[in-house]
Structure 1
C-alpha cells in the first residue's frame, strides 16, 4: 500500500500510518528502531531497497529524508509504504523551503517511541556526523566514505570529527577480512615486520584495514575468495549493534599515521 500526502504535517503522517496498519491488520508496535536515511532523489531507491531488506532482520520504521529546493515555498510531501510481507513502515519525506535546513523538526515526532534511532548517509558523508541535527537524534550514525568524490579525504575528516556512535560502511566491509586475519594472527607466527594490501586506488576500506593491522600485529601467501557484500547486508550488520565501536575509532584515527598509500597499494 502506498499513500501520498502533499503539503502535509507529521500529525497527518502518523494518522495515515496508524490507519494503514489497522486496515491491513498489521501490528501497531513491534518495531525495534527507527532508521533515518538522509539521501537524494537519485539515490533513494537503492538506499530504501537495502534498508527494507535489512528490516526483515530488524523491524524498523524507515524514514528517508530527501531535501529538495531550499528556495521554494516551505512544505513537506510524504510518501508512505506499508506492506503485509514486510515488517515496519517506510516514510519518504520530501522537504522544501526552510524545512531543508530543519529536517530534524519533522523527523523527531516520527521516531518510534522508546526505541533507538540510527541515521544513515548512504553516499555523501557530512563533515561532522555527530554535530548534524539528524545525527544528534541517533544513537548510531552510519556513513560511507566510499561514496564521496574523495574517499580518503572524507575518511580523514570523519576521523577528526569522530564521536562515540559513529561508524562507516568502509569499516563494515572489512568484517570478514578482519575475522580471517584475526584467526591467522592468533596462531603462533614469527615477527610481523610489514604488510602490503592491494586494492583499488583511494579505497577507504584498504587504509582502514592497514591501520587496524598496524595496531594489532610469517604466514605464506594465500589467496582467499571473499565476495563483496551487498549494501543490505552491511546496513543489517550495523543495526545489530548500537554501542560505540572503539576498534573502528582506533583504526579511523590511526590510519593517516600508520598507512602510506602508494598508487593502488596501501603499505603499512
Structure 2
C-alpha cells in the first residue's frame, strides 16, 4: 500500500501512520531501529529497495529524506509505504523543497521510533563531516559509501580526517569476505613469516586502499598496491614469504582461486557483495566498528611520512605506470 500526502507536515504524516495501523494493522511491530536515508530526489529507489530487503533481517522504520531542490518554493511532500511495498518495515519518503530540502533533525524528530537506535545512511553525497550533521549528531551509526562519490579517494581521505566512533563506510563492508578468507589462510599457514604484500585492484577503488591498510596493520609488512585502471574492485592479493607465496585471486565476479606452496589450487566462493547484503551487515551491529576506525585512521601516512610502507604503482602491464602522487597511499 502506498499513500501520498502532498504539501504536508511531519505531524500529519505521523497521524496518518497511526491511522493506517488502526485500520488494518499493516505496520510491522517489534522494529529494532530507525534507518534514516539521506539522498536526492530521483536517486532514492535503489536505496529503498536495499533497505526493504535488509529489513527482512532487521525490521525497522525507514525514513527517506530526498532533496527535491532548494530553489523551489518551500513545501514538503510525503509518501507512506506499508505492507508489500515496504518489506518487513514501513517506509516514509519525505521530499523537501526550498528550505526543507536540506537534511534536518526537525524533519524526522516526530517520526523516530521511541527508545530505538538511529542509523543514518548517505548512499550518495556523503557530508564533509557525518558526525556533525544535524541527523548525524543523534545517530548511533553513520554509514557512507565513498565508492559512490565523484572522487572516491578524496571521500575516503575525508572520512579519515573526520572519523568518529560510529562512522563506517560500505567500501569497508564490501571487504568482509576478503578479510574472512585471508584471515583463515593466515591462521592455517605455517612456515616463514609474511615479508611483503601485493594488492591488485581498481585504481579508484576505496576498498582496495582499505584492504591494503588492513593487511599492513595486521602483518606489519610493506604493501604494494598494483592499480588496474581497466578493472573494477579487487582482483587479488599476494602474500610473499621465503617458503613460497600465497595468492588469492578473483579473475571473475564470483569465484576466487587460492594458491599455496605444495598444495593444489583451491576454488573459493567469493562473490561481489550486493548493496542489500552490505547494508544488512551494518544494521546487524550498533556498536562502533573499532577495526574500521583503526584502519581508516591509518590512511595517509605516505603524505605524512616520506618512507611510507605502502607503495602504489600502475598496472602490472608494461607502459601503464601511474604517478604515485595521483593516488591515495596508506
TM-score by length of 2: 0.77
Number of residue pairs matched by the alignment = 268
C-alpha displacement of 1:36: 0.4
**In 1: Cα distance, 2:30 partner to 2:116 partner:** 10
Closer/same/farther in 2, CA of residues 27 and 71 from structure 1, 3 Å limit: closer
Q: SS of the counterpart of 1:34?
A: strand
Find 1:232's aligned residue among 276, 285, 292: 276
Closer/same/farther in 2, CA of residues 102 and 25 from structure 1, 3 Å limit: closer
**In 2: Cα distance, 1:82 partner to 1:28 partner:** 8
**In 2: Cα distance, 1:232 partner to 1:61 partner:** 16
Residue 68 (structure 1) aligns with: 68
Unaligned runs of 5+ residues in structure 2 are 220-240, 250-255, 257-268, 302-308, 317-326
Unaligned runs of 5+ residues in structure 1 are none
C-alpha displacement of 1:112: 0.6
Residue 195 (structure 2) aligns with: 193
Residue 95 (structure 1) aligns with: 96
**1:260 correspondence with 2:311:** yes
Q: SS of the counterpart of 2:158?
A: helix
Q: SS of the counterpart of 2:92?
A: strand
Instruction: Give the alignment's Cα RMSD to 1 decimal.
Output: 1.9
Closer/same/farther in 2, CA of residues 255 and 12 from structure 1, 3 Å limit: same
C-alpha displacement of 1:103: 2.4
Residue 11 (structure 1) aligns with: 11
**In 1: Cα distance, 2:315 partner to 2:121 partner:** 29
**1:39 correspondence with 2:47:** no
**In 2: Cα distance, 1:246 partner to 1:208 partner:** 14
Closer/same/farther in 2, CA of residues 16 and 138 from structure 1, 3 Å limit: same
**In 1: Cα distance, 2:75 partner to 2:276 partner:** 31
C-alpha displacement of 1:264: 4.8
Q: SS of the counterpart of 2:163?
A: coil
Find 2:289's aligned residue among 241, 245, 262: 245
Residue 214 (structure 2) aligns with: 212
Task: Considering fraction of residues, name the structure with more helix.
Answer: 1
Give per-residue Cα distances to partners, 1:108-158, cap 9 Å, x unaligned. Answer: 111111000100001222111001112112100000000011111110011
CA contact 1:21–1:82 (8 Å) conserved in 2: no
